[in-house]
């Protein structure tokens, strides 16, 4: 039996990584980043470019600014970034049950 992270753990880990990147970019404590839209917590278009670059490095995905605008909160972006991994984990779990 493989020891795989659950879909919720994968998404939580992604959320933590996103919050870490945002707190470094925005120069705020991680606790100040919540479920508000990125623009509402201070992410402007200039910082969004750097945010995308950092996310690409962290997650190894080819992201665009449009992906950020389509998923404008930490929870939504974490779900988007982990959709493939969580669906594969869910499939593997259901097949082994």
Please state the separation of Cα 78 from the chain's center in Å: 3
CA-based nearest residue to 45, from 17, 16, 76, 69: 69
CB atoms < 10 A from the CB of 26, how many? 17
The C-alpha atoms of residue 75 and residue 41 are separated, in whole angstroms, by 14
pLDDT truncated to tens, each residue of the chain (97 aa)?
334 678 788 899 999 999 999 999 999 999 999 999 999 999 999 999 999 999 999 999 999 999 999 999 999 999 999 987 655 544 444 445 5
CATH no. of 7-96: 1.10.1200.10
The domains of the chain are located at 7-96
Strands (E) in the chain, as ranges, are none
95: left (phi over 0), alpha (psi -120 to 50) or beta: alpha
Handedness of CA 85, 90, 75, 72 (dihedral sign): positive
What are the tokens at 54?
A: 């950092």
DSSP-derived letter for residue 65 is H
């Amino acid at each position: 039996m493989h020891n795989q992270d659950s879909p919720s753990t994968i998404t939580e880990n992604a959320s933590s990584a996103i919050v870490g990147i945002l707190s470094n970019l925005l120069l705020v404590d991680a606790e100040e980043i919540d479920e508000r839209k990125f623009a509402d917590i201070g992410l402007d278009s200039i910082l969004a470019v750097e945010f995308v670059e950092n996310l690409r490095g962290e997650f190894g995905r080819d992201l665009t600014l449009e992906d950020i605008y389509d998923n404008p909160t930490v929870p939504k972006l974490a779900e988007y970034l982990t959709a493939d991994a969580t669906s594969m984990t869910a499939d593997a779990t259901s097949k082994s049950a």
